[in-house]
Structure 1
Amino acid sequence: MPVTTFQRARRYAKTHPLALDAALAAGVLLCMLAGSFLEPHDPQGASWGLRTPDPLSLVLMTLGAAALVLRRRAPRTVLAVTSAFSLTESVTGDPRAPVAMSAVIALYTVAATTDRPTTWRVGLLTMTVLTGTAMAAGPLPWYAQENLALFAWTGIGATAGDAVRSRRAFVQAIRERAERAERTREEEARRRVAEERLRIARDLHDVVAHHIALVNVQAGVAAHVMDRRPDQAKEALSHVREASRTALGELRATVGLLRQSGDPEAPTEPAPGLDRLDDLANTFRSAGLTVEVARADQDTDLPAAVDLAAYRIIQEALTNVQKHAGPGARAEVSIVRVGPHIEITVLDDGAGGRDHEPAPGGGHGLLGMRERVTALRGTLTTGPRYGGGFRVHAILPVQTRTSASPAASADAAGGP
């Protein structure tokens, strides 16, 4: 966009305020000089005439205009100096000389650079002193139009300066509000990105850890019996292939969430839930882990987030049993509906005292469970069982803030 002459002038004025004030002082001096040489009431009957101002008036006008060069650096001092020149002119010189114009500009500057109460006090004081002195001690009658004009111009200067200050403050407030809103949006965007990264990492861990654990077990079985029982090794390799195929499918579904909306290659398969619990238990049974499932949830229709969290908690708990409980371990999974909550418990009778908690640089299974439960405002309890084994107990709300299905409401009321 081309820069116009006006824009260049504004830019120069902002970067060189002293030059702007010097130009303003020169303009004010020219206006005062023009007013001092003009006679609005010519005695010969003309509308305008010429007159010769007093030398003192010329000196006072020059000094008053020169003082305006420093109006930004010391506005109140400049107002006091120009007001003194105006008082001197109104008492000792020609009261018709417009020396007070410099005082009006100085009063405008004070009003534009200070607060409103100060503007009222300084404006009233300047108006009263200048006008009162001119009326009481000046050579003209108190009701002369020059005195009334002085009263009006000082009031206009104070009002105009206050209006400019108010507008600047309003524009600055809008700018600060916009900048604050922009910072808030950026912080919110960063927070959402961090939460999304954490969610994706948690889902990838749940998918990969479960299936890789099964693949590891089956591959170990196949290697152990490859020479003596090739049929059993073949069956183990078949389980490896099935587990890897399932893992690839779930990874594809998870990675598909990262695709842009409208991508035709993005998968549309729903996230797993408790309706696939039997298939999940069978995958562990095929790996040699004894899993018993007991459900007393009255076929509760769970929200998608709760259903997925319940599935992932059971999946991760059974994966930990597979990895840590040792050979011959048994796992029990129970799902019970208790009022407005659903309780999930996974028990095993593996080696007592083993540590499921992630070591430094280790896994994040229990941490992922806790994050899922906390996000749904539920509770999670994990720890060793008395006499050996481990216990995972999660309590999840049947309804979340964003879902309240009619079926869930009916279950909460006690009816199927």
Structure 2
Amino acid sequence: MNKQSISKVNLFLIGLKSRLEENLDIFKNITVVYKTGLKNFKGIGTYDSDKIKFNFNGKTESLSMDGLTTKLCDTAVNYDSMILTYSERGTDILIEADNKNVKMKNIDIKEEETISNSINETSTLLNRNYYIKVGKADKLLKEIGVMTKEGKVKNYKIRKYNQIDHYVELFDEMLNDIPRNKVINILDCGCGKSYLSFVLNYYLTEVKKIKCHFIGLDYKESVIETSRKMAENLGYKNMEFHEIDVKDYIPKNKIGIVMSLHACDTATDMALALGIKLDSDAIIAVPCCHRELLSQYSYEPFKSILKHGVFKSRMADILTDGMRSLLLEAKGYDVSVVEYISPLETPKNIMIRALKNKDENEDLMAEYFNLMSSLNVYPALYGFLNE
């Protein structure tokens, strides 16, 4: 290749250096194919310990990005043309160069628009436009156990796949109202095996092109180790996991979103309290069992109704989530409560979504205190907030 073309390639590579520094967590690799006549010569570079490990012609070198740029340009002198691909999660940047032209373009990785036959035959959402699409998201779906190695969604996992995708849909509805700082830090409280964090990481990074960082908390060492291994397998470097009690966690950076999925009983309250204390921009919770207020509350006007255990239990569920929602509103959050999935699948199907958009409301706090007094309850959420 001539000097003029190589100089243009060098300028493009300087731009990629800045991009690498900004997007290191989602960088995958750099590949280059040099051509002479009908022969191709391929090199590949991967990030390793602050260096690019570059393999070409059977030799591997550890280079800085500046060093790699020099290497790529010096090597191009010996060939007729080159095609360089800079790969990030969800995006490829292509540089094509020969003695006549040098051009660079972004390529979004194509999605397969059709859903697997196994879904079309059995899913209750036949016409659903999935947010997490079969095809592009296969590696993720296989890692979380929803898809077989052959690329088919498992029949007994279709319901889970639909639930996960609907969660993403409800999450997506909030995105426009969440401040777009440089990076959105998302805290998953009681993360378990972190399936939803992995799915949201994929969606935000590779579909929406939003910079994000996920932090998973759980007190079980086994699930934390599993999550770390899955993140490694997927190449999701923008994730960290900690074996710690939620109420003991102190973040290093501003937390944009706190989420909690099916955290048992007052574990949901711990997550909500942490989100409020951290002044997070958004809080999302799908509560699980509701045991706390059932043994506390009493209301004389309803005495003849609440003598039936099933009514008392259902009312406890409503009171628990209702008072959670009211306290979030009192703390300056705009709250919406929706059915996450059909009640035919599970009665524990409520999702609480809260967006911080105002200061604390003293009138609502007074209303909350009046309810505490009238019902003779002391909710865990209020207790955690005042520890």
The two structures have a TM-score, normalised by structure 2, of: 0.21
The two structures have a TM-score, normalised by structure 1, of: 0.20
Structure showing greater radius of gyration is 1
| Structure with a larger share of its residues in strand | 2
